[in-house]
Structure 1
Amino acid sequence: MGELYVVSTPIGNLKDITFRAIDTLKEVDLIFSEDTRITKKLLNHLGIKRRIQSLNEHNEIKKTPKILQQLSQGKSVALVSDAGTPLISDPGYCLVKQAREKFFNVIPIPGCCAAIAALSVSGIATDKFYFHGFLPSSELAQLKELDILAQRKETLIFYESVHRLQSTIGHMIKIFDGDRKAVVCKEITKLHENYFGENLTEIDEFIKNNPKKIRGEFTIVIDGSKQKQAIIDRKKMDKILLELLPEMPIKKAVKICVMVSGLSRNETYKRAVILKSLQT
């Protein structure tokens, strides 16, 4: 039976390719990539003359059975993405899942990953972390997703595009508060590599004051929540506020919630504003 190699490639600096990745790309029978044009540039740089076939989010389901057939015939297959490690916010899950279900050997060829590279230089806790990737595109869906993550204790890692960076940071400030420790990692390993921000407010100000520098690809690393559940019982607070907010103004709802629950007025008001925005 053939083997499927999940091959990590550079995320910017072509010198970051591993010897093992080069050997694998030279030796396999077939190479499937997210974007054949980008992979072709990499192979040309490495002096590897090979035909590349596409496997992306639009054709993965259709192409997976054909690749599995090639594996059953004893062919060796390499899977690569545009940059970094395949399947991490990139296509390949369907193929790998089905390959393993059919007991083919699936072998990682480790290398670059923007999320891990960003975390390693962020100065934020690395012992426990949660990788989220890209948030939803719509404002309401993004706010709801961030609200779910707000109380997580682990370091949070997100990917974001240049066009949405400013609005996403704004939403993070709204949900997490501006003083939450955070850093934005821009164009990791590339020519215009840069790291900015000590917290979300500082990042927001940098973006507003330096629009010409906000280009490329971004990884956002954010400190986990430091709040103790004993101090603020969010479930209790939400239950009361969700009953009151549709029936009365925010100030009145907050006042009643504080009287009934004994929770902090400050935190209750902040929470009420967030819940109100999620309802509209």
Structure 2
Amino acid sequence: MTDPKNNPNKQRRSFFWQRKPILMPESAKLVNPVEGSPRKAHPWYRPTLLKAAVVVLAVLAILPKTANGQFGIDTAAILAALSKMQSLMNTFIATPLRTINQYEQSVAKYEQEVMYPLAAINQAKSSVMQFENQFNQVSGMFRVNVSSATLPQSQNLESLLLSRNAANVPVLAGQFQNVYGVVMAQNAASPQTRTMTDMTDAQAQDAMKRAIEIDALSDAELNEANQMGQQISEAAPGSAPILEAEADVWLVRANAYTQAALAELMRTRGIDLENQSAITKLATADNTTNNGLINGALTNR
């Protein structure tokens, strides 16, 4: 009987993971079991318990005992650098910022106590409110009825002149003719007299229309002034320059309206003077004609 330890057909299992049965070749089945066969040599790389232990010991011997983090930089060096950076920031950043903060606080205190004191602002607001109340009382004087005409036609014209509504300007010509009449007929007066009368009537109507427009503009300016006064009494100190600029714009507009009214007044005065001059010229022409007629009559006698 063959010794089991020296049996060449014995299946050998791997030590770690691969455990595949070793199949006997077909030639081995034909061999007589009585006859012995030589034992095969195993390769050197076949895993065994001893080889595995040797490999583990070698790896443990090669591995380092200690390791430094942060790519080999020591933690103490990092902390020292951070401390140095903090010191530099406190020296070159925190100190200037602290100085700037103190300067801003002093400027704000100066503005609050000297430039824009709260007591003075409240006093100015109360003064504005008093001025607005007084102005509202004075503005009522502009609404006093000054109508004086007694006849129907003249009353209609006067109501248009005092209406303070620019929409009534186109209607004024008809009411003007109802009161002052139209230019005389062609054969009723000389051409010079008719022309002078037509120009006088035209300038009179222009002045009346301009008066209505200026009254309407004055109402608009007064309303805007009231709104500005209300805004000033409620506005913050920082918005005062904006309101002042808007008031300056309205002041320029008011000056322009005043200039337009002055120009109309000058035109009316010019027409009046020219009428007096034209009357003198017509009188001179009539005297010359009369003198010629008298001289002719005396000569013919």
Q: TM-score band (shorter)?
A: under 0.3
Q: What's the TM-score, normalizing by structure 1?
A: 0.17
Structure (1/2) with the larger strand percentage = 1
Q: What's the TM-score, normalizing by structure 2?
A: 0.17
